Amino acid sequence: MEDISIGSKKKSVFREYAEALLWALGLALIIRTLFLQAFTIPSGSMLQTVQIGDYLLVNKLAYGLKVPFTDHYVWRGDDPQIGDIIVFKYPKDTSIDYIKRVVGVPGDVVEMRNKQFYRNGQPVKEDYIQQLHPGHIGPLDNTRPVTVPPDYYFVMGDNRDNSLDSREWGLVPRGYIHGKAWRLYWSWDSSIHRPRIGRIGQLVQ
């Protein structure tokens, strides 16, 4: 009888651990699907605001709640605003995620003139941008006026001279937006092989 009792107890403990693990995995999947998602920065298109090696959390409820694994909303929250940094599916290859800043919302007329960004005919002061080549005019530094249609957004990288964005590949549909970049939870500087301690926990803005 003792052997049966001990075996049952071991099985019970194993079952408890297995159930706890399944609950944890299920909860993590629900959080990732509906609420928060981790995102890694692989390129320098958003320097210096977001740096290569930054790891950030994306608030997936910022603009509403989607049916899981679709682009359709169960509930639409606030619309993205000028200045929001968003993570979204790259329109030319939806298997890839991009991060950029919203600079044009529905109804805006946007254009570039000799590196200066204009919204609705007015030059926009952008203190957050980085320009590596101020005197050089590249192919994306002059663009024709574009009127942003409903449920679309015009986005650009803060590292303006090293960003392929809406100037090159067009507008971002609202349904492609995963959410709003929220906070850094880790940052790793690969050039010196150590974390950027001062960046951990910072809001992304």
Task: Enumerate the active-site residues.
Answer: 45, 100
Nearest to 1 by CA among 9, 109, 39, 181: 9
CA pair distance 24, 150, nearest whole angstrom: 40
Strand partners, 112: 117
CA pair distance 87, 157, nearest whole angstrom: 12
Spatial CB neighbours of 69, under 8 Å, sequence gap ≥ 6? 33
Whether the CB-CB separation of 169 and 156 falls below 8 Å is answered with no
CA pair distance 143, 75, nearest whole angstrom: 35
CA pair distance 21, 15, nearest whole angstrom: 10
